[in-house]
Amino acid sequence: MTPQGGVVFEALADPTRREILLALADGELAVGDIADRVQGVGRTTVSSHLRVLRMAGLVTERREGRFRLYSIDPTPASQLVGFVAQVYRDSLDELRSDARVAPRNAKGRSTATG
């Protein structure tokens, strides 16, 4: 995973930012529209979170007149999915290996504990 990937995970660690991304999953939105969809935060807070998401490369900003419209940038998704798949692929390989090594009882069940 690239150094940028660490910034992405840091940005995603915040539950409000994840809510903002979920709101943007429906399409491009202005700050006010996002604030209406995310409980308990105002426009200023949403703007601060959007700045972090933008710096992490998770959202893009487009100006239309006096409005700034935000949308999800799909580019980091492939890196994130690849990383998570690698983590779980290694875990699954370990589980398969453990299952092959674990002794079996007469009914074919593993006798391994733990």
User: For the segment 56-100, what is each residue's pLDDT rounded down to a tens digit?
Assistant: 999 999 999 999 999 999 888 777 878 877 888 877 777 777 777
Q: Write down the pLDDT at residue 112.
A: 57
3-class SS of residue 78: helix
* Domain at 26, CATH number: 1.10.10.10
CA-closest candidate to residue 41, choices 17, 67, 8, 22: 17
Q: Given a cut of 50, is residue 3 above it in pLDDT?
A: no
Note whether residue 81 is domain-resident.
no
Note whether residue 67 is domain-resident.
yes
In the chain, what percentage of residues exceed pLDDT 90? 55
Domain membership of residue 24 as a residue range: 3-73
Note whether residue 20 is domain-resident.
yes
Note whether residue 90 is domain-resident.
no
Please count the structural domains in the chain.
Answer: 1
